[in-house]
């Protein structure tokens, strides 16, 4: 897809990965609606990228917030070409320790919001000569990892949604794409997650690596892109022989439990 001249709505634009995605897309000539909750950060990003971009301040966990983003897209003078569902929250901890309300909120932001935004915006995307929906998943959308149970559930769901919708729309002009970053240096990962990644030897990417991946995905022909070779290999192994990783992860349980409750 040629990106110059396209219009996109990007959720989670105020976050670590979202800001890098916004910079890369704006640099490629895409006009953006920068969506998030943090009005100050979004305004600063808009000042940096240029006044032709717009801001939509909205809490995607609520119907009113999602309606505000949909309204901003509907008001675009030249229509909408790209929906990038990037907003998300992490939750490191033991599943049994989580509050039910936090689990509900995580699923609302990471899974319900992308599904409902996509559903509401498809009619608008259909009017574009070529369009794309990109769902930002995770390496943990293909590999269930202790300590991230609800997060994994949300990203497995998002991957399944992306795959099914891509196949449902395969003979049309809307591409439905899945981008799966591995651990990335953003505020999503608190000091416990950083310490766990170091202890487990997990590589951590800069957000700009995810932005490179997004541009490659949009410009290329493939439908899904997982970042990081070992992570992609583990995802494949887990899909082919799910039991192969059980013993290794079980050995890491004491460490994961210790960090989760630290």
Ligand X SMILES: NC(=O)c1ccc[n+]([C@@H]2O[C@H](COP(=O)([O-])OP(=O)(O)OC[C@H]3O[C@@H](n4cnc5c(N)ncnc54)[C@H](OP(=O)(O)O)[C@@H]3O)[C@@H](O)[C@H]2O)c1
Would residue 178 show up in a list of annotated catalytic residues for this protein? Answer: no
**Residue number, 58 or 80, with CB nearest to ligand X:** 58
Smaller CB distance to ligand X: residue 62 or 130? 62
To ligand X, the closest distance from the beta carbon of 149 in angstroms equals 14
In the complex, minimum distance from the CB of residue 231 to ligand X, in angstroms, rounded to a whole number: 10
Residues 6+ apart with CB under 8 A from 220: none
Which residues on adjacent β-strands are paired with residue 84?
Answer: 10, 134
Q: Which residues fall within 8 angstroms of residue 5, CB to CB, at 6 or more apart?
A: 29, 31
Residue with Cβ nearer ligand X (47 or 78):
47
Question: Mapped to the 3 state alphabet, what secondary structure does the chain carry?
Answer: CCCCCCEEEEECCCCHHHHHHHHHHHHCCCEEEEEECCHHHHHHHHHHHCCCCEEEECCCCCHHHHHHHHHHHHCCCCCCCEEEECCCCCCCCCHHHCCHHHHHHHHHHHHHHHHHHHHHHHHHHHCCCCEEEEEECCHHHCCCCCCCHHHHHHHHHHHHHHHHHHHHCCCCCEEEEEEECCCECCCCCCHHHHHHHHHHCCCCECHHHHHHHHHHHHHCCCCEEECCHHHHHHHHHHHHCHHHHHHHHHHHHHHHHHHHCC
Nearer to ligand X, 4 or 40 (CB): 40
- From 151, 161, 234, 259, the catalytic residue: 151
The closest residue (CB) to ligand X is: 15
Which positions touch ligand X (CB under 6 A)?
12-18, 36-38, 59-61, 65, 86-89, 109, 136, 138, 181, 183-184, 186-189
CB of 7 or CB of 85, closer to ligand X: 85
Query: What are φ and ψ of residue 43, in 5° steps?
Result: -65, -40
CB of 167 to ligand X, least distance (A): 22
Nearest distance from C-beta of residue 172 to ligand X, angstroms? 26
Distance CA 42, CA 37 (A): 8
Q: Looking at beta carbons only, is 101 or 187 nearer to ligand X? A: 187
Residues with catalytic annotation? Answer: 151
């Amino acid at each position: 897809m040629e990106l110059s001249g396209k219009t996109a709505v990007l959720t989670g634009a105020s976050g670590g990965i979202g800001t890098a995605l916004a910079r890369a897309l704006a640099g490629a000539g895409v006009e953006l609606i920068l969506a998030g909750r943090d009005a100050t950060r979004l305004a600063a990003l808009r000042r940096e990228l240029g006044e032709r971009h717009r801001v939509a301040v909205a809490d995607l966990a609520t119907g009113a917030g999602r309606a505000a983003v949909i309204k901003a897209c509907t008001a675009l003078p030249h229509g909408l070409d790209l929906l990038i569902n990037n907003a998300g929250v992490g939750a490191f901890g033991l599943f049994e320790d989580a509050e039910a309300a936090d689990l509900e909120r995580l699923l609302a932001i990471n899974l319900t919001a992308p599904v409902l935004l996509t559903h509401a915006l498809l009619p608008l995307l259909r009017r574009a000569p070529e369009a794309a929906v990109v769902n930002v998943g995770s390496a943990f959308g293909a590999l269930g990892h202790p300590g991230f149970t609800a997060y994994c559930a949300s990203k497995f769901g998002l991957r399944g949604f992306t795959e099914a919708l891509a196949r449902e729309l395969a003979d049309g002009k809307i591409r439905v794409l899945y981008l799966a970053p591995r651990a990335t240096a953003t505020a999503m990962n608190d000091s416990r997650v950083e310490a766990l990644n170091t202890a487990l030897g997990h590589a951590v990417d800069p957000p700009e690596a995810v932005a490179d991946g997004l541009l490659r995905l949009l410009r290329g022909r493939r439908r899904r892109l997982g970042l990081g070779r070992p992570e992609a290999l583990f995802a494949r192994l887990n899909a082919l022989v799910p039991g192969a990783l059980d013993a290794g992860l079980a050995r890491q349980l004491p460490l994961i439990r210790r960090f989760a409750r630290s």
